[in-house]
Chains A and B, each alone.
Chain A
Amino acid sequence: MQMKQTYIIGVLGVLILITGLIAPVSAYSLLFFNPSVVESNPGEQPAIDLIMEGCDAGISGYALYLTLDNPYVASFGEISFPSWVSMNKVEHINSSTILIQGADLGNQVEPALSISNLAKVNIHALTAGYATLSVEPVIIDDDRNGRYDPVSKTASIVISGAGPSPMIPATR
């Protein structure tokens, strides 16, 4: 009986894995951070890449809100852009949110590129604690007169220090 349950769970797992491998390629686009978990110490400035996956129709430009939900623990440092972002803008909305924009004037992110760096986010590690870095897309336009509607994932910022280590919540 135990063997049979293990077998069924194993088959389901393989199916889920296969489904997971196939679906992202054609079904959706994804915004995520790399790394998704950043451990740092106060005073350091770790960098996190914001990446878009599934930009199969190219990218003409984007506008995204980035939010650090605990400005006492971490704040935004310099935002840098890859070379294809030939026109860019960073606007501080409030103490925890910035708007970043980029445009591909040179048509460098052409259709058929499935993954692309959008920006590199530097974080000021202020004090021990935990913060979540999230991205909210406003518009991401492709090169074919279309618009993406991506799923986005957060990143966890863990600043080590005196006291108990913060517990990391599950990623959304």
Chain B
Amino acid sequence: MLIAAVWGGAQAEQGSETYVPGEVIVKYADIGSGTAVASVASSLNAEIGAETIYTDEVMGVKGMQVVKVPDTTSVPDAVQFFKSNEHVVYAEPNYVTNLPAPLGNSENTVQGLDSETPGMTIPNDPDFDIQWGLYNTLNSSAGRADISAPEAWNISTGSSDVIVAVIDSGVDYNHEDLAENCLSGFDFVNFDEDPMDDNGHGTHCAGTISAVTDNSIGIAGVSWNSKILPVKVFDATGVSNTALEIMGIVYAEEQGADIISCSWGSHIYSEALKETIDSTNALFVCSAGNDGYDNDEIPYYPAGYNSANIISVGASDEFDMLTWFSNYGAVSVDLLAPGEDIYSTLPGDYGFMDGTSMSVPFVSGTAALIKSEKPGYDAGQIKNLILNSVDQKFWLNTTCVTGGRLNAYKPLSLVLPLNAEFKAEPATGTIPLNVQFVDMSSGEPETWHWTFGDGFESTLQNPTHLYMKPGKYSITLTISKEGLSSVAEKENFIHVKPPYQPVKAFPNKDGGFYPDPTDADDDGLFEDINGNGWLEYEDPKLLFDQILFAMKEEPIGQFDFDKSGFIGFGDVVKLYQMV
């Protein structure tokens, strides 16, 4: 149904190059050996007069071919012809994809980086102060609206083992701020091994993802050390097609890409493209589009494919608002990321660009940071982590699934970071109290430093400590690993009571006795002198009236409120002050 609807739209747009003239993508069913597929394909091609442009070997997808039909046969007719064969799973035009047109250069806004706070890592790249998407100091009173990159970098700056494929117009792999992080890629437009960017779009995206950072040159990337795999599928004019995109994806997968950054798309559904994405293990980060549309009503692909390994990204501005151009969708767009006035690398240069294309690299870079720290996480886990830790804004509820903007720090803080935690057994008891402390920290700390509140310390992971004096003790555990540290502090966590001795009921005026005093708050002191269950003025008054009785009959420890070492009027005053 959906295919038919899209197909109808494609037919209507045939004259405006919605698809590559004469080209059809054909996917054959698995009918046994490759020879069998080739035989069927050869037979069908001969029947319609088509010739194979890309074999399934070139495409990298078993059973998928791209053929070119004669000018005398329309693409819709050819598609119908192939689909009518029982061995063809699907056939579709080779749809054209256009990179978003530039939305105009933005203002060059210079920020002052004088509001650095502890817990941040600020790189020395000279233009970092105009990369508001990473660290927005201008808007601090209304919330920073950036992705909290400095906080994230305090945890991780990315691993060179993580590969982010930038499937785009290529990358200026010679750029002073990119070269060190660029791998050898491939150019599927010219079918060679030189994916030089002749458009600029891909280089801009690559810079945000992984520009060489803290090198005193240019800009900072989200993931400082991750590798960029340039995959050129868009030509100098920003045009590509489904076949090139599929080949680029298959290539990226073969090269071990962990994240595939796709700052492009169209409103046309391609079964071939979706199937290719679904069969790939990498995480796809895809732009939601720049039409200002509701993608729930007018889908945009590949962002809109219902695939577990796709994140759909819209664009936010410096005030955490949806940008005027960004597509949105309470169901079909996952989150927003900075996409306006984004400063990054351009071929041999730097510059500003706007668009959801610019939002995608922030998410791709963040995914790379997570993958760096959690290599075992699959695409779904990384996706869930990112989506579950956005900075939610109520006014964004209707713009995307999460109702929030990307935060790079939060997902990292959830997965890697040291998080100090402990328990103690027993936490309460009478002296001498021997307490077993148990480290329950996450993040596999390497060192431990305990303070027990009584002047003693330990560096063991699970120490025991003997308390010899009554009191309440606050405990701190400081753990560290590779320069990171985390502190857990629990105030008055250990409660050491004096040795218990039976208390006696206080006399009343009638010659009888009140109920036994009680220790309602279980602190070892029997504040409830008259035993009625709560502390009130009558309690210090009774202690005052019967001070001589108390001195003679009661155990000191339970009534020594002022810690003087004896029962006296100081205890009356202290108890009164406690009422």
Contact = CB atoms under 8 A, between A and B. Distances in A.
Interface of A: 60-63, 87, 89, 101, 103-105, 107, 138-139, 141-143, 145-147
B296 interface: no
B562 interface: yes
Chain A: interface secondary structure?
strand
A89 B545 contact: yes
B569 interface: yes
B292 interface: no
B566 interface: yes
Contact of B547 (A139, A143, A145): A139
Given A101-B544, A139-B551, A145 B573 contact: no
Interface string B553-577: 0000000001111101110110011
B566 A147 contact: yes
Interface residues of B, number: 19
- The winner among B541, B564, B573 for most chain A CB atoms within 10 A is B573
Contact of B572 (A103, A145, A146): A103
Given A87-B541, A105-B576, A141 B570 contact: yes
- The winner among A62, A103, A139 for most chain B CB atoms within 10 A is A103
B53 interface: no
Contact of B573 (A89, A103, A138, A139): A103
Contacts of B572: 60-61, 87, 103, 105
A142 B570 CA distance: 7
Contacts of B547: 61, 63, 101, 139
- The winner among B540, B547, B551, B569 for most chain A CB atoms within 10 A is B569
Interface of B: 540-541, 544-545, 547-548, 551, 562-566, 568-570, 572-573, 576-577
A145 B570 contact: yes
A61 B544 CA distance: 9
Nearest to A104: B573
A87 B544 contact: yes
Given A89-B544, A103-B544, A105-B576, A145 B569 contact: no
A101 B568 CA distance: 12
Contacts of A145: 562-565, 570
A74 B569 CA distance: 31
Contacts of A146: 564
A145 B565 CA distance: 8
B568 A138 contact: no
Contacts of B540: 87, 105
Contacts of A147: 566, 568
Contacts of A63: 547-548, 569
B410 to A, nearest CB: 51
B538 to A, nearest CB: 12
Given A145-B562, A145-B564, A60 B569 contact: yes
Contacts of B562: 145
A99 to B, nearest CB: 8
